[in-house]
Amino acid sequence: MKFKKGAVWIIMLISVTGFALDYDWGKTGHRVTGQIAEAHLSGKAKRNLAALLEGQSLAMVSTFADEIKSDKKYKKYHPWHYVNFPFDKKYGETSPSASGDLVQGIDKCIAILKDEQASTYDKQFHLKLLVHFIGDLHQPLHVGRAEDKGGNDIQVRWFKDGSNLHRVWDSDMIDHYGMSYTELSLNRAALTKTEIEDIQKGSVIDWVHESQNLAAQVYQSAAIGEKLGYAYMYRNFTMVRTQLQKGGLRLAKVLNDIFG
């Protein structure tokens, strides 16, 4: 096959920019968060959500925000997947991004779901986004540093393959573990009622600060170019599972507050 010179450049550009940037917990991570939330909804919230989502589960809709990414029409939602602010500052101490961020995105979704004037379409759309963004909030590197795009620019090796620190945390570890989202949801840590309530305490901003603290640890966990594998999994997968569980419990809390 023969490519024109221009086409070769375009292909190279796409592979350097497009594929190098990874955004989210992979599909499995998001579905785990949705599935765990589903198990902690009040009866009333469950009924209201089932009506709005026309029977689709939270796991099912959790990946919608990624599915619309390739459509230019939804470009304005890209910055809603993450938030970057200096590690020695609290959110809001520096001016929030004018193009929006994870915190502003979650606020907007909640506002629309509470707005009696909002259309059913808008509510459905923003509910699907909210399910996704509460998940993203719990991937520590979605509250990472702007300079390296939350670890996307930190190249590492994952077993034999090229990867980056962000992708290791979004999906490489979860995929390597090899459980489906239902298996991961069922095999979550057994928590007491008090432990669950403690996790559900606080505000979105508190949870963002918690993720940023974890992000600082994640940045310490690997060096540029390092080959990561079994030992890295062993040291870090507990944090991944804990974050997915917290994401699910807190999503349930947010949804129970709105729909319960």
Positions that interact with Zn ion (CB under 5 A): 23-24, 81, 136, 170
Q: Report the residue from 46, 132, 142, 246 that binds ligand ADE according to the rule CB under 6 A.
A: 142
Least distance to ligand ADE from the beta carbon of 102, Å?
9
Q: Can you point out the beta strands (E) in the chain?
A: 155-158, 161-164, 227-228
Among residues 230, 250, 224, 22, the alpha carbon closest in space to that of 137 is found at: 250
Least distance to Zn ion from the beta carbon of 76, Å?
14
Q: Distance between alpha carbon 188 and the CA centroid of its chain, in Å?
A: 18
Looking at beta carbons only, is 38 or 172 nearer to Zn ion? 172
Spatial distance between the Cα atoms of 76 and 246, rounded to a whole number of angstroms: 27
Residue 77 is a binding residue for ligand ADE (CB under 6 A): no
Spatial distance between the Cα atoms of 223 and 34, rounded to a whole number of angstroms: 32
Q: DSSP letter at 189?
A: P
Least distance to ligand ADE from the beta carbon of 15, Å?
17
Stretch that binds ligand ADE, among 12-20, 32-40, 110-118, 143-151 (CB under 6 A): 143-151
Residue pair 230/160 in contact (Cβ under 8 Å)? The answer is: no
For the chain, give me the number of helices (H) and strands (E)?
13, 3
Looking at beta carbons only, is 53 or 68 nearer to ligand ADE? 68
Q: Return the residues of window 6-65 that contact ligand ADE according to CB under 6 A.
A: 21, 23
Spatial distance between the Cα atoms of 67 and 69, rounded to a whole number of angstroms: 6
Burial class (CB in 10 A: 0-12, 13-18, 19+), 158: buried
Binder of residue 24, out of ligand ADE, Zn ion, none (CB less than 5 to 8 A by kind): Zn ion
Least distance to Zn ion from the beta carbon of 223, Å?
20
Least distance to ligand ADE from the beta carbon of 111, Å?
23
Residue 150 is a binding residue for ligand ADE (CB under 6 A): yes
Binder of residue 247, out of Zn ion, ligand ADE, none (CB less than 5 to 8 A by kind): none
Among residues 234, 245, 195, 258, the alpha carbon closest in space to that of 39 is found at: 245
Least distance to Zn ion from the beta carbon of 4, Å?
34
Q: Return the residues of window 102-141 that contact ligand ADE according to CB under 6 A.
A: 141
Strand order in the sheet with 227-228: 161-164, 155-158, 227-228
Residue 82 is a binding residue for ligand ADE (CB under 6 A): yes
Binding site for ligand ADE (CB under 6 A): 21, 23, 82, 84, 141-142, 144, 146, 149-150, 152
